[in-house]
Amino acid sequence: MVKLLGVETFFTNINILTRIKMPNLYRSFMEEIMIMVLRDSLARTPVDTGFLRASARKVVKYSGENGAFGEISYNAPYSVPVHEVLTSVHPIGESKFLENAIRFITPLLPKMLKRRINTAFSRRAMRDSRMVRMADGSN
């Protein structure tokens, strides 16, 4: 398991904010993050036969109480040594392919979330203003 300083706190705070106020936003945001990390890690994954890349899996789990959590795994029997051994030479790809993808994506998350929240609020505001106009008879 890869733990990056500050990432857990970020997701804990976002989880609290969005699962209460905007659960669908949080779920779709988690899906987007997991897709981005998976794509980036696949691009970094060493290739010999292609079996390691083909063994990649993404799962996003939903829990009403805890929001959404994502997992990415590489299930080839040799995935751990390929990922962890830094002295290996890979003509295509690199060691720490999943960890490096997470490190690359993590700084992008606050701006991505801010954009999503702003979009959600502006859509909600537009919808609410239409409802007010319909209720008072003005169009």
Q: Examine the pLDDT at 39 and tell me if it is beyond 60.
A: yes
Model confidence pLDDT, tens digit, residues 19-29: 556 667 777 88
Cα–Cα distance, 60 to 136 (Å, whole number): 43
Cα–Cα distance, 39 to 33 (Å, whole number): 10
pLDDT of the residue at 132: 46
pLDDT band at residue 10 under the 50/70/90 scheme = low
pLDDT band at residue 124 under the 50/70/90 scheme = low
Model confidence pTM above 0.75: no
Cα–Cα distance, 18 to 139 (Å, whole number): 32
